[in-house]
């Protein structure tokens, strides 16, 4: 019999180091406690107690490093149970946020949370082998004061194994788990998309999916404040058939980015304000022109007032922007990174790094310009060749089709120079079509 049947008493010391303060949360896979670190005085940890032998969660977390995940610090076994020691994330679960706001959560804020979760899910799904989280729900998502989302509890996460008809064990949270998690098929990336859709549905409508599993009304019919497009995104995410959902997280991300609310997400939460406990020396950062595959880095200097006990949160308001560390108590260089592959369509992009303390907030604009990624000198040469080919009798139509194909597969923001080549190919192709028709008619006379 293990200690899992009763809470650890405050003052209990684990591994000669971690002193239990109080329980934080309890679930089917274990209990999480707040603990003091006896070796690092003042440092708090989240310690998760689990039945012995269940170290798969530790094995998964140990290999991961993402700003929307808590950092794993230690793992040990004691008195028949296993213990995970993780970063203590100060904040509120999305379930708690919803309950604390009778007026509901704004669409803009929901989109910002969803974009962060999508970025994390894309990271998990692109591991080798892919990691399927399988337990996405409001209780497992914490949002900090700086609007940074953290996903907790990897108790039922699993590695995806291709070729299986169904999961070995049917498990999940009713209402938020996809239908295939109950034995009808194998879970994959689309299962996590379903759970994210169910979570957004609950946050947007206050209608708990657990009350009527797999039955979702149009979200906008219950919350008219939602935009039609956001309502459609949620509805598609919770389709019963995986084939009808977004097929990958990247597809869902692009749909969210397209929303007008994503363009104005939490940069409006934090307005710049001078004075107080800290100062950011830079007014803005301009990364200049970057390639889509680039991940350039720059620095912000944050100066904390001497003698101040302020704890500052650092966050960003775009999925393509990263800032670390995310918590500051002294003078610090904040590393700012742009993830080029996550930039939305368009040549010019703006995001913000958000630094906040009690009663003191600053927003630092971050500017990025995307270089032409598809139309290299070789691309332009190919366009010229296809246009020239359209001048040749008989082969002209093939050149015209090739030019059209190149035009439509090129991102909209990079099509400007191709307009000239398309126009030329169209004229030459039309000319030879007219000539061909004339010759055909002349031959029939």
Distance CA 145, CA 166 (A): 40
First vs last C-alpha separation in the chain: 101
Q: Measured in whole angstroms, how far is the alpha carbon of residue 210 from the centre of its chain?
A: 24
Q: Which of 135, 167, 188, 192 is catalytic?
A: 135
Residues 173/182, Cβ–Cβ less than 8 Å: no
Residue 279 CB contacts under 8 Å (≥ 6 apart), including other chains:
302, 303, 362
Sign of torsion over alpha carbons 249, 252, 258, 260 = negative
| Burial of 411 from C-beta contacts in 10 A (0-12 / 13-18 / 19+) | middle
For residue 294, indicate whether it is catalytic. no
Distance between CA atoms of 359 and 356, rounded to whole angstroms? 8
Q: How far apart are CA 177 and CA 91, in angstroms?
A: 24
The dihedral built from the CA positions of residue 395, 397, 398 and 403, taken in this order, carries a sign that is: positive
The tokens for 158 are 């699993």
Q: How far apart are CA 365 and CA 285, in angstroms?
A: 6
For the annotated catalytic residues, the residue numbers are 135
């Amino acid at each position: 019999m293990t200690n899992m049947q009763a809470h650890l008493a405050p003052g209990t010391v684990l591994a000669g180091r971690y002193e239990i303060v109080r329980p934080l949360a309890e679930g089917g896979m274990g209990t999480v406690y707040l603990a003091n670190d006896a070796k690092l005085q003042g440092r708090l940890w989240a310690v998760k107690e689990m039945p012995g032998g269940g170290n798969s969660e530790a094995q998964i977390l140990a290999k991961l490093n993402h700003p929307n995940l808590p950092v794993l610090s230690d793992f040990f076994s004691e008195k028949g149970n296993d213990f995970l020691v993780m970063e203590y994330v100060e904040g509120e679960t999305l379930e708690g946020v919803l309950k604390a706001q009778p007026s509901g959560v704004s669409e803009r804020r929901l989109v910002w949370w969803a974009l962060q979760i999508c970025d994390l899910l894309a990271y998990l799904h692109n591991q080798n082998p892919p990691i399927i989280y399988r337990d996405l729900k409001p209780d497992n998502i914490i949002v900090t004061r700086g609007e940074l989302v953290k996903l907790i509890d990897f108790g039922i996460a699993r590695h995806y194994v291709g070729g299986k008809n169904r999961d070995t064990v049917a498990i999940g949270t009713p209402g938020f788990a996809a239908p295939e998690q109950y034995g009808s098929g194998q879970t994959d990336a689309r299962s996590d998309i379903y759970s994210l859709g169910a979570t957004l549905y609950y946050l947007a409508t206050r209608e708990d999916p657990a009350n009527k599993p797999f039955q979702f009304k149009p979200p906008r019919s219950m919350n008219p404040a939602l935009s039609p497009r956001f309502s459609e995104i949620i509805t598609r995410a919770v389709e019963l058939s995986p084939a009808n959902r977004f097929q990958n997280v990247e597809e869902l991300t692009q749909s969210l980015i397209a929303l007008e609310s994503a363009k104005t997400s939490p940069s409006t939460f934090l307005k710049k304000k001078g004075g107080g406990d800290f100062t950011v020396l830079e007014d803005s950062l301009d990364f200049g022109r970057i390639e889509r595959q680039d991940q350039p880095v720059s620095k912000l200097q944050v100066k904390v007032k001497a003698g101040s006990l302020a704890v500052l949160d650092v966050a960003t308001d775009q999925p393509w922007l990263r800032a670390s560390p995310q918590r500051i108590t002294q003078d610090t260089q904040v590393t700012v990174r742009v993830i080029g592959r996550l930039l939305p369509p368009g040549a010019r992009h703006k995001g913000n790094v958000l630094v906040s303390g009690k009663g003191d907030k600053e927003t630092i604009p971050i500017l990025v310009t995307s270089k032409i990624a598809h139309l290299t000198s070789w691309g332009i040469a190919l366009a010229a060749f296809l246009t020239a080919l359209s001048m040749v009798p008989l082969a002209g139509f093939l050149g015209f089709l090739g030019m059209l194909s190149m035009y439509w597969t090129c991102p909209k923001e990079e099509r400007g120079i191709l307009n000239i080549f398309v126009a030329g190919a169209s004229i030459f192709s039309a000319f030879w079509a007219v000539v061909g028709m004339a010759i055909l008619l002349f031959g029939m006379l």
